[in-house]
């Protein structure tokens, strides 16, 4: 059977699926959700990473583990707890095994367009790394009654890498972008179908894209309706009511995978029970956003960590106000999905049954767009800003989320066709590229949180480049800014900066190319692709947050290959390699 390229619309829609489902799944296994066993193990700090324990499946049936756990002393020693874990739990991540990618194409056509041999061979190495990140679920080793925190899926998929062993949030969007460039259409479809299964039991194997769209439409509409019903909020301003969306998760416990960190944030202060519950919800809500954590969500974004603090800034986390923020990127994504679902409806067999749904979606998109312009757009700076419901004003924090509307095309026609205005919006990118050696930083606030300065993240660099390319080509046939070279030049400059950052970090950690690039003297590793990079210098991994910087890495590789497919004939070998 010939595998066709998935519809670009379905790939776009996968983003909102990722953002939505993770925080809403019910957790019904007391070992991994809340309770005395989880609390004892996590607060004892048996592992450097809180996620390790909740990724460990049991060796024995759940009831037996719970019974043994109930007999643990209240103040059990480290050795007793370690013996308990060794006896009743298997190694983390055992349910996932590396697997082959079906119909793997070792020489996709985009490689032919890359001018520089070193860059071409580097891209080929990254392309050929996909099998190292591909997994399938195998729980055959587990006993009857044994349990795991992992939610099984039916098909193979690509993981981000490092501690991130599962399908993750918005990571998958950028992974799929890379898989499409790599012409690995079957595994890309697998990932999309896995997400549809996770929304509701929807096991099907389509034979072509039209069938996939028809079958997916009810599920995607159900997911969108969930978001609209549970995350829409009305804002009354200047005698007008606007309807926009915010992240909103109800939670009263520490996150299992970050139990110690959340416990430290909430419980080691003098908060009353009401404040504690609210803070746990704001923490979980920030995690739902994918930006965990950022000064964007804080009441006081300028609090510095204490001198005896770890890299996690607990002081600023105690001021989280996430649910009261109307974020730019979420509304951009949902606007795109409202338009996308309207297009999906054309593939449904009975148009009459969805006609009213399409009207509703288009009306919601129009209302959302009006709200974004009236509440989120700052005409003075030419940027979008989050809206704070507590102060009923725009946030003063600049973040790269401002470029999501340009990527998602969630702008009114008069703004889309205003070349001068759009150049003003992207002038900040030019300034940041001139000021720093790496890619643009996520915000300008150095809070020590990982979604703040000086970290530069691949998905945000992608949003900038995509927005610039959209502005370059113009969204409408009579656009005044169509084919404006300023947009293309800045997109190329940003792309070159990204490629240089990624390649230099890979080279400095032992990357080499037989016959073209000798391994750097003194390095013994094989080169790493990191999840985030520093804006301060070229080829330096990012830092901060709850865990050490991870390598692999799904979205880094996906964005890199996407950039190669767009600018392969113009990219130059970075100076770190040309020295």
Which band of pLDDT confidence, cut at 50, 70 and 90, is reported for residue 197? Answer: confident
Q: Would the pLDDT of 109 be above 80?
A: yes
Burial of 292: CB neighbours in 10 Å, binned 0-12, 13-18, 19+: buried
Q: How far apart are CA 205 and CA 278, in angstroms?
A: 43
Q: Pick the catalytic residue from 171, 186, 531, 551.
A: 531
Q: Would the pLDDT of 329 be above 80?
A: yes
Q: How far apart are CA 193 and CA 212, in angstroms?
A: 9
The strands making up 325-326's β-sheet, listed across from edge to edge, are 325-326, 387-388, 393-394
User: Chain-centre distance of CA 522, in angstroms?
Assistant: 34
Q: How far apart are CA 136 and CA 342, in angstroms?
A: 34
Q: How far apart are CA 200 and CA 427, in angstroms?
A: 44
First CA to last CA distance, the chain: 49
For residue 205, the model assigns a pLDDT of: 25
DSSP bridge pairs for 97:
136
Q: Would the pLDDT of 203 be above 50?
A: no
Q: Would the pLDDT of 15 be above 60?
A: no
Q: At residue 517, what are phi and psi to the nearest 5 degrees?
A: -140, 110
Q: Give the predicted TM-score (pTM) of the model.
A: 0.93
Whether 143 and 59 have beta carbons less than 8 Å apart is answered as: yes
Q: Does 292 qualify as catalytic in the annotation?
A: yes
Q: Would the pLDDT of 14 be above 80?
A: no
pLDDT tens digits for range 39-85: 999 999 999 999 999 999 999 999 999 999 999 999 999 999 999 99
How much is the average pLDDT of 275-302? Answer: 96
What SS3 state is found at 489?
A: helix
For residue 579, the model assigns a pLDDT of: 65
Q: Would the pLDDT of 279 be above 60?
A: yes
What SS3 state is found at 469?
A: helix
Which band of pLDDT confidence, cut at 50, 70 and 90, is reported for residue 349? Answer: low
For residue 147, the model assigns a pLDDT of: 95
How much is the average pLDDT of 88-94? Answer: 96
How much is the average pLDDT of 297-309? Answer: 83
For residue 476, the model assigns a pLDDT of: 45
Q: Is it true that the peptide bond before 471 is cis, omega within 30 degrees of 0? A: no
Whether 283 and 262 have beta carbons less than 8 Å apart is answered as: yes
Q: How far apart are CA 380 and CA 329, in angstroms?
A: 20
pLDDT tens digits for range 531-570: 999 999 999 999 998 889 999 999 999 999 999 999 999 9
User: 3-state DSSP helix/strand/coil percent for the chain, to nearest 5?
Assistant: 50, 10, 40
For residue 413, the model assigns a pLDDT of: 79
Which is more confident, 309 or 190?
Answer: 190
The angle subtended at Cα 278 by Cα 273 and Cα 281, nearest 5°, is 130
Burial of 12: CB neighbours in 10 Å, binned 0-12, 13-18, 19+: middle
For residue 489, the model assigns a pLDDT of: 96
Q: Does 531 qualify as catalytic in the annotation?
A: yes
Q: Pick the catalytic residue from 92, 95, 292, 418.
A: 292
Whether 500 and 538 have beta carbons less than 8 Å apart is answered as: yes
Q: Would the pLDDT of 12 be above 60?
A: no
260 CB-near residues (< 8 Å, 6+ apart): 42, 43, 45, 50, 254
pLDDT above 90 coverage of the chain, percent: 75
For residue 416, the model assigns a pLDDT of: 73
Question: Which among 361, 350, 450, 468 is positioned nearest to 404, based on CA atoms?
Answer: 468
Which is more confident, 209 or 429?
Answer: 429
Q: How far apart are CA 182 and CA 201, in angstroms?
A: 29
* Residue 349: how many other CB atoms lie within 10 Å: 7
């Amino acid at each position: 059977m010939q595998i066709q390229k998935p519809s670009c619309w379905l790939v776009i829609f996968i983003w909102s699926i990722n953002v939505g489902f993770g925080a809403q799944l019910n957790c019904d296994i007391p070992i991994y959700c809340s309770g005395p066993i989880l609390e004892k193990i996590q607060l004892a700090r048996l592992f450097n990473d809180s996620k390790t324990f909740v990724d460990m499946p049991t060796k024995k049936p759940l009831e037996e583990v719970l019974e043994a756990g109930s007999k643990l002393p209240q103040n059990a020693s480290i050795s007793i707890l370690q013996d308990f874990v060794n006896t009743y739990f298997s190694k983390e991540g055992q349910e996932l095994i590396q697997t082959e990618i079906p119909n793997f194409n070792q020489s996709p056509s985009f490689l032919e367009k890359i001018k520089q041999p070193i860059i071409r061979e580097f891209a080929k190495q990254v392309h050929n790394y996909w099998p190292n990140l591909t997994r399938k679920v195998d729980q055959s080793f587990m006993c009857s009654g044994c349990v795991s925190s992992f939610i099984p899926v039916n098909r193979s998929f690509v993981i981000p890498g490092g501690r991130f062993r599962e399908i993750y949030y918005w990571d998958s969007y950028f992974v799929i972008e890379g898989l499409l460039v790599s012409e690995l259409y079957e595994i890309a479809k697998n990932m999309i179908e896995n997400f549809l299964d996770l929304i509701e039991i929807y096991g099907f194997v389509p034979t072509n894209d039209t069938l996939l769209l028809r079958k997916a439409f009810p599920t995607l509409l159900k997911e969108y309706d969930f978001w609209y019903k549970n995350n829409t909020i009305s804002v009354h301003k200047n005698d007008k009511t606007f309807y926009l969306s915010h992240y909103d998760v109800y939670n009263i416990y520490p996150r299992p995978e970050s139990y110690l960190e959340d416990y430290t944030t909430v419980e080691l202060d003098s908060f009353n029970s009401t404040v504690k519950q609210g803070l746990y919800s704001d923490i979980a809500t920030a995690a739902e956003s994918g930006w965990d954590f950022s000064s964007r969500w804080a009441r006081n974004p300028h609090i510095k960590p204490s001198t005896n603090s770890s890299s996690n800034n607990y002081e600023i986390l105690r001021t989280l106000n996430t649910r009261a923020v109307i974020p730019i990127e979420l509304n951009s994504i949902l606007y795109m999905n409202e338009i996308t679902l309207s297009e999906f409806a054309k593939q449904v067999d009975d148009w009459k049954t969805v006609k009213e749904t399409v009207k509703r979606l288009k009306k919601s998109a129009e209302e959302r767009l009006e709200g974004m312009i009236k509440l989120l757009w700052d005409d003075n700076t030419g940027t979008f800003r989050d809206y704070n419901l507590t102060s009923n004003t725009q946030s003063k924090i600049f973040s790269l989320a401002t470029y999501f509307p340009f990527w998602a095309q969630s702008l009114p026609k008069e703004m889309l066709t205003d070349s001068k205005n759009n150049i003003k919006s992207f002038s900040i990118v030019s300034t940041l590229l001139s000021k720093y050696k790496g890619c643009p930083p996520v915000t300008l606030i150095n809070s020590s949180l990982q979604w703040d300065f000086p970290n530069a993240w691949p998905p945000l660099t992608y949003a900038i480049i995509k927005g610039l390319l959209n502005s370059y080509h113009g969204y409408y046939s009579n656009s005044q800014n169509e084919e404006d070279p300023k947009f293309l030049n800045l997109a190329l400059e940003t792309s070159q900066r990204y490629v240089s950052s990624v390649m230099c970090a890979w080279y400095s950690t032992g990357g080499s190319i037989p016959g073209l690039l000798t391994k750097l003297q003194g390095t013994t590793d094989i080169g790493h692709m990191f999840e985030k990079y520093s804006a301060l210098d070229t080829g330096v991994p990012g830092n901060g947050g709850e865990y050490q910087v991870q390598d692999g890495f799904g979205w880094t590789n996906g964005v890199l290959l996407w950039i190669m497919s767009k600018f392969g004939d113009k990219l130059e070998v970075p100076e770190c390699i040309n020295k």
